[in-house]
Amino acid sequence: MEKQIIAVIAYDGSRFYGMQIQPNKPTIQGEIENALKKLNINSKITHAGRTDKGVHALNQVISFKVPEFWEEEKLKNLLNQILFPSIYIKTIKKAPLNFHPRYAKKRSYRYLLSPTISPFTANYLTHYQHTINYPLLQKALNTLKGTHDFTHFAKTGSDVKDYTRTIYLAKIFPYKNLSVINIQGNGFLRGQIRIIVDFLLKINENILTIDDLKAQLEGKLISKHLAPPNGLYLERVWYHSTLIESSYSSSKLI
* Contact between 196 and 153 (Cβ < 8 Å): yes
Helices (H) and strands (E) in the chain, counts: 6, 10
Strand partners, 107: 185, 237
CA triplet 239, 242, 246: central angle to 5 degrees?
95
Active-site choice (12, 52, 159, 211): 52
What is the Cα–Cα distance from 52 to 60, expressed in whole angstroms? 13
Which one, of 226, 227, 247, lies nearest residue 238 by Cα? 247
Buried b (16+ CB within 10 A) or exposed e, 237-252: bbbeeeebeebbeebe
- Please give the single-letter amino acid code of residue 209: T
Cα dihedral angle (156, 52, 183, 114), rounded to 10 degrees? Answer: -110
Tell me whether strands 164-175 and 178-185 are parallel, antiparallel or unpaired.
antiparallel
Q: Which residues contact 63 (CB under 8 A, 6 or more apart)?
A: 4, 5, 6, 7, 45, 46, 47, 95, 99, 100, 101
Active site residue 52: yes
Separation in Å, CA 206 to CA 67, 171, 181: 57, 19, 19
Catalytic residues: 52
